[in-house]
Every structure is written in C-alpha cells, then in structure tokens.
Amino acid sequence: MTSVTNGGDRADARRNRAKMLSAAGEAFAQQGLDVPLGEIARRAGVGAGTVYRHFPTKQALLEAVFVQHLEELVASGEQRMARFAPAQAFFGFLLDVVQKSDLRGHICDVIAEDASWPRPMLRASVQRFRQVLTALLHAAQRAGGVRADIGPDDVVSITAGCVSMLAARRDRAAGHRLVQLVLDGLRTPAAVTEQLAFRDSAVGVCADCGARLPLQATGRPARYCGATCRQRARRRRLAG
C-alpha cells in the first residue's frame, strides 16, 4: 500500500509541476516577469506553498520554463529530421523556433541579459538544442538546400533577429512574411531559383490571422488556428 501511495504522490507531483510550468509560461508571456508566484499558483490551480516547494525562487521557475521550451524545440527538431527532407526539416524547425521563442520573449530576454546563466540544467538543454540545430543545418547543406558558408552561430543570430522582428510587428501575417524573406537568404541560389516550398507540408499559418499552426502527424492540414478565425473568414466569404 505504501509503494502504491508513494507512486500516486509522485504522479501528483509530476502533474502539479507540469501545470505550474504551463501556467508560468503563459503568465510570463502575458504579464511579463514581474508576475507574482501567487498568481502563477492561482492559474495552475495549486497552493502557493506547492509552487515554492518545487521552485524556491522565481529564477528557478524561469530556468525550468526555459528548459521546457528548449526541450520542446529539441523534440520538434528530432521529429522533423525523421519525417521530412533535409531542407524542409531545417526551415520548418527554424520557423518553429521563431514562433515559440516569440511567445517566450520575456523569458528569453532575462536569460540573455543575466550573466549568471546558464545554470547546469539549462546548459544541458542549450547543448542539446545546438546539437539538433547543427545536425539539421549540416544535413540541409549536404542536400544542397542551404548555403555552405553558413554556420550554427550564424543561424542562431539570424533566428534571434527574426524573433525580435516578429515581436515588433502587430500584423502577424506581415511579420511572418518578413521572417520568410530573411530565412530565404539562407538558401543556396539554386534552391531560391527553384522556389522550393518554405514551409513543410504539414505546417503553415492561419489563413485569417497568420498565427503558426501546429505540426500534425495525420489528417488534413488545418487552415485556421481556431473557431474565431474560421467564423471570421466565413463571414467575409458570405459578405463577398
């Protein structure tokens, strides 16, 4: 009975941690880094004491949220390597990085500005991210889809610039178009001339608001990010 109880306690702790990280990510994105831990606890549906037991300081919580962000990107990159052609996988990954990092902008800012980062856990996630990015880049270069004079550091800097550019634009569709133009500069001249598809076949942007649509393993690719955009587009069609 004790082992069953302990197993249940651990499962509850894992669920609470996942809820807190999700709530923290949303709160930091919406309200900035000054949001109190009590507000994060409220969003997660747990007590403030539970948050402090898992994350004694806000800095510890920030690190955990950013580690989760990087691990999600690593998983996305690995999935793309297994499913798509090299250039398609590389550019799809960069779009994923830009979109998801834009949503984590406040967290990215504090990591970049604080000289004490990265901590050991975050350093390991950064290393895994770099490994996946480098593998995707080199595969795309060997396939002739990306310029040979581009290195991983160049890609990181260009991607960070795209995140800042997207965050500065209120018109999301226009922002994504600018990101595409910048990333197209990484292609080989032959690939640009052939006008290869920028996005992979399973990923795109909402036809109404321009927001990124999630990667879908099966089924028909979505055209809209949700019911609101779908209904708005339908009203425009009917009005026309």
- Left if phi > 0, otherwise alpha if psi is -120 to 50, otherwise beta: which for 171? beta
Average pLDDT, the chain: 79
Whole-structure pTM value: 0.70
Question: pLDDT tens, 200-211?
Answer: 444 455 666 555
Structure tokens at 111: 């990591």
Query: What kind of fold does domain 58-201 have according to CATH?
Result: Tetracycline Repressor; domain 2 (1.10.357)
Dihedral Cα 91, 96, 102, 108, nearest 10 deg: -100
CATH 3.30.450.20 correct for 1-56: no
Residue 218 — very low, low, confident or very high, per pLDDT cuts 50/70/90?
A: very low
Q: How many CB atoms lie within 10 A of CB 94?
A: 23
Distance CA 108, CA 62 (A): 10
Give span(s): CATH 1.10.10.60, the chain. Answer: 1-56
**Among residues 239, 236, 237, 211, which one has the least CA distance to residue 225?**
211
Alpha helices per DSSP H over the chain: 2-31, 37-44, 48-54, 58-83, 86-103, 105-113, 120-142, 152-168, 172-184, 189-193, 227-239
Give span(s): CATH 1.10.357.10, the chain. Answer: 58-201
Distances (CA, A) of 116 to 42, 57, 144, 169: 29, 15, 39, 31
Residue 221 — very low, low, confident or very high, per pLDDT cuts 50/70/90?
A: low
Q: How many CB atoms lie within 10 A of CB 187?
A: 23
The owner of tokens 């004490």 is 116
Question: pLDDT tens, 41-75?
Answer: 999 999 888 988 888 888 888 888 888 888 999 99
Residue 87 — very low, low, confident or very high, per pLDDT cuts 50/70/90?
A: very high
